[in-house]
Amino acid sequence: MIDGRILKNSGRMMKVLLIGSGGREHALVWKIAQSKHLEKLYVAPGNGGTELIAENVALDIADHKAVVDFCLANGIELVVVGPEVPLVAGIVDDLQAAGILAFGPNKAAAQLEGSKAFTHALCDEMNIPAAGYARFTEAAPARAYLAKQGAPIVIKADGLAAGKGVTVAMTAAEAETALNDCFSGTFGSAGAEVVIEEFLEGEEVSIFAVCDGENFVTLASAQDHKRAFDGDKGPNTGGMGAYSPAPLVNDELLARIEREIIAPTFEGMAARGTPFRGVLFAGLMVRDGVPKLIEHNVRFGDPECQVLMMRLESDLLELLVASAKGDLSQIDLSWSNKTALSVVMAANGYPGPYDKSTEISGGDQQNDENVHVFHAGTKRVNGKLLANGGRVLNVTARGNSVSEAQQRAYSAIEKIEWADGFYRRDIGWRAVAREKDGT
């Protein structure tokens, strides 16, 4: 069990279990592995990249008892939870009940991502700027509301729906279809309640802040690319690429986001008796310098985490332990001034159906200190690297400018051979255009 001291400057070593298997988790594993406090790192279940730097364990992460038992049997002192599903399911509560420290919010605080209606109610209570909305549990009044509001409009299943529960409807017909999907059970219980939101125009940015229940440190800004194809075309995905920092977020805007959105979220959670510990990922829409909240997530973004980890110079384990223990007072993070940019390579067909077990070569290259290939859906079989999911590799690079980071990432991609994959060729286009304009 970890003692009362803060890890920082303690010379203390610890055994850590990280939960998850995506590119986000490979980036966290890579950074935690650099910590001077790390004794041993396990990942459950991990992927073909994490197994090269940590020990993958085949645990069913939905089985909290199995996770707790593994921790007790192996002397794990900190569990870092990557994805939202176990957080919303209360894995942190179950670990804490067994006396195991965990990074991430408990079930009550994870509602910030687990229920869109919950977050809207908090925003109302704390005057946090967000889209106008209405909530419905029945189809008829929801349809009547839609008819009154017209399109464009946004339909959201209230609960977690693996990133598929949101429809930005540009026509009334699309809105109607989305509503029918929710109420006909497409998203299971996640769609039993529906939130209909005002369509916000502007530019999207993500801000990450780690909280200890009361105080917080803002990490960095990032921009994601949600659409599958170049020019922001095609279906929505989990994210096809990201870069950090987001040049749109200057000091003034960041201060405003902290004051109007991040701080009141944490204050509101503490006031309700459900303080937030872990990382908050606020998805924002910015228009004419005015930020509005689109959604809160209670974990690192994927692929935003990959670019944040490429820029973080401080010891990540110290930050995670400080948040989990409820005292960030000694944490002072330092960041590289460089831009980091990550390009996702996905299996042909993603986000629809795709083949698995297709062979990849060149996926383990480490060209130099400025390029890192983080794995997402990969596995190794008989010494071969195979695709094992929709998003498969995150080719991530650092540069003195967005253009330089972009050029390095795409040069690294040229060394990867994977006939069954695709990637966007314009990741970072907004920031590159800004760089060229000098704005």
Residue ranges binding ligand AMP (CB under 6 A): 131, 154, 163, 166, 168, 197-200, 204, 226, 283, 294-295
CB of 220 to ligand AMP, least distance (A): 18
Sign of CA dihedral 312, 314, 315, 317: negative
CB of 429 to ligand AMP, least distance (A): 16
Helices (H) and strands (E) in the chain, counts: 14, 23
Kindly tell me which of 47 and 237 has the beta carbon lying closer to ligand AMP. Answer: 237
d(CA 316, CA 190): 33
d(CA 155, CA 145): 12
β-sheet bridge partners, residue 281: 208, 297
Kindly tell me which of 286 and 387 has the beta carbon lying closer to ligand AMP. Answer: 286
How many CB atoms lie under 10 A from the CB of residue 397? 29
- The two structure tokens encoding residue 245: 């920092």
Kindly tell me which of 307 and 387 has the beta carbon lying closer to ligand AMP. Answer: 307
Kindly tell me which of 283 and 362 has the beta carbon lying closer to ligand AMP. Answer: 283
d(CA 251, CA 207): 13
List C-alpha distances in Å: 204 to 337, 405, 427. Answer: 22, 21, 14
CB of 352 to ligand AMP, least distance (A): 17
CB of 50 to ligand AMP, least distance (A): 26
Could you tell me which of 396, 339, 427 has the C-alpha nearest to residue 27? 396
d(CA 73, CA 57): 13
With tokens 């006396």, the residue in question is 99
CB of 133 to ligand AMP, least distance (A): 8
Kindly tell me which of 170 and 381 has the beta carbon lying closer to ligand AMP. Answer: 170
Kindly tell me which of 165 and 399 has the beta carbon lying closer to ligand AMP. Answer: 165
CB of 157 to ligand AMP, least distance (A): 10
- The two structure tokens encoding residue 250: 């200057």
End-to-end CA distance of the chain: 51
Kindly tell me which of 113 and 212 has the beta carbon lying closer to ligand AMP. Answer: 113
Answer for the pair 130, 137: CB distance below 8 angstroms, yes or no. Answer: no
For the sheet with 55-56, list strands across it. 55-56, 38-45, 14-20, 78-81, 101-103
CB of 20 to ligand AMP, least distance (A): 18
Sign of CA dihedral 207, 388, 42, 383: negative
d(CA 284, CA 207): 8
CB of 71 to ligand AMP, least distance (A): 31
Kindly tell me which of 197 and 302 has the beta carbon lying closer to ligand AMP. Answer: 197
Q: What is the DSSP string of 111-172?
A: HHHH-HHHHHHHHHHHT--B--EEEESSHHHHHHHHHHH-SSEEEEESS--TT-SEEEESSH
CB of 75 to ligand AMP, least distance (A): 38
Kindly tell me which of 253 and 294 has the beta carbon lying closer to ligand AMP. Answer: 294
